[in-house]
Amino acid sequence: MKIFLDTIGCRLNQSEIERFASQFRAAGHAIVESAGEADLVVVNTCAVTSAAASDSRQKIRQAARQGAEDIVVTGCWSTLDSQSAAGLPNVRRVVPNLEKDRLVADTLRLQPMDFDLEPVAREPLPGVHLRTRAFIKTQDGCDNHCTFCITRIARGPGRSESVRSVVEDIRLAVAGGTREVVLSGVHLGSWGQDFSPQYHLADLIRAILTDTDVERLRLSSLEPWDLDEEFFRLWENPRLCRHLHLPLQSGSDRTLRRMARNTSPAAFRRLVTVARHAAPGMAVTTDIIVGFPGEDEGEFSESLAFVQEMNFAGGHVFTYSTRPGTPAARLKDIVPGGVARSRGVQMRQVVAQSADRFRGQFIGTEACVLWEATDAYGPSGWKLHGLTDNYLRVETVSAHHLWNQISRVRIEMQNANGLHGSILE
């Protein structure tokens, strides 16, 4: 059988479809790059914003238009609105998040243990979800109560993958040629807290660095309150990528309290200072929400000034959208749409300027780049795009097709896509 896997949203969603692919392949089926050539389509949906929910519905409709007659839908949006998902064209089955670990086994009418008999090395997914980096699921669910977040409701309580499972997934990725893995989870920093006795994410990272040969280990989003000063000693190992994505959400104390975020601007500032001291060149990226209910001009100004002060290496700025079922949906003092959009423009400008400054300090330096994308060969050679360990996006032109290779590069200039450099022979 030919299977097409599609997803939108977070890195955890990407890691899940990679796991589905491995299980389908272990059962003898082929992964194809388009819905039109597939016997079965699986769509992993997202609901983090109303736009993500809309995109999820569109993905399903697109698959049906391309000829998919058997569509299985899973993920956050379909879990929250299973009736609507089931009503879309050619959807034969909706799998809630809490049952998605059995999605492949139930679809193929197999026992989950059958996959363990013949573990297969990772192969990158074909088509639009092709990645050199392997996204490894280490944790699911969340026990935080951020008032704006629908994901906690869609994903359920926090639960951790075992050290053995994560290490084995990484070994299979490395056996398939992966040079870099990204640890993913809804609340990654809570890994191990549901064990008895409890463990910390640092324990998992140490086990990976000790028990696998992966060349580069990257962490996805981490909540700032899960980290302490001791955590940053991990960066004494150069295999751990110098990149932290720390969602701030707001630089205003009052806004953070309404969001039920377990941090403050002062605590966040201290954490970033420690991180940058522990690993010079560390890229710190973030998420910001503007227009949260009750955000007046004073709170927005505080948030804007704090973001300017932090000099982030990049970030995502979201205009708040109401998610039914969340506590924030009941809050008063809604920020008018035009005001919220204007604040979004201002915040994005600040983040873009600080990202430019961060990239600019590396012009004239050398860095190792993992090439993760190539454009068609042209008169000047292959156009390559990749990432340094500290999340600098670099492009170059080479006579060689270097996809999934690591090259030493001299950074020469900034451009619209990030940085441009030349490969050092």
Tell me the fold of 132-221. Answer: Transcription Regulator spoIIAA (3.30.750)
**∠ CA 47-67-14 to the nearest 5 degrees?**
35
312 vs 128, higher pLDDT: 312
Please return the burial class of 30, using the count of CB atoms within 10 Å of its CB with bins 0-12, 13-18 and 19+. middle
Query: Are the C-beta atoms of residues 198 and 163 closer than 8 Å to each other?
Result: no
Does the structure show a pLDDT above 60 at 37? yes
Q: What is the pLDDT of residues 194-243, one digit of tens each?
A: 999 999 999 999 999 999 999 999 999 999 999 999 999 999 999 999 99
Q: Is the pTM of this model over 0.85?
A: yes
Structural domain boundaries of the chain? 1-124, 132-221, 241-361, 366-423
DSSP 209: H
Does the structure show a pLDDT above 60 at 117? no
Domains 132-221 and 241-361 share a fold: yes
The set of residues, in sequence order, having a beta carbon less than 8 Å from that of 349 and lying 6+ positions away, is none
What is the mean pLDDT of the segment spanning 178-195? 96
pLDDT score at 376: 65
Query: Which CATH code for domain 1-124?
Result: 3.40.50.12160
Tell me the fold of 241-361. Answer: Transcription Regulator spoIIAA (3.30.750)
pLDDT tier, 122 (very low <50, low <70, confident <90, very high otherwise): confident
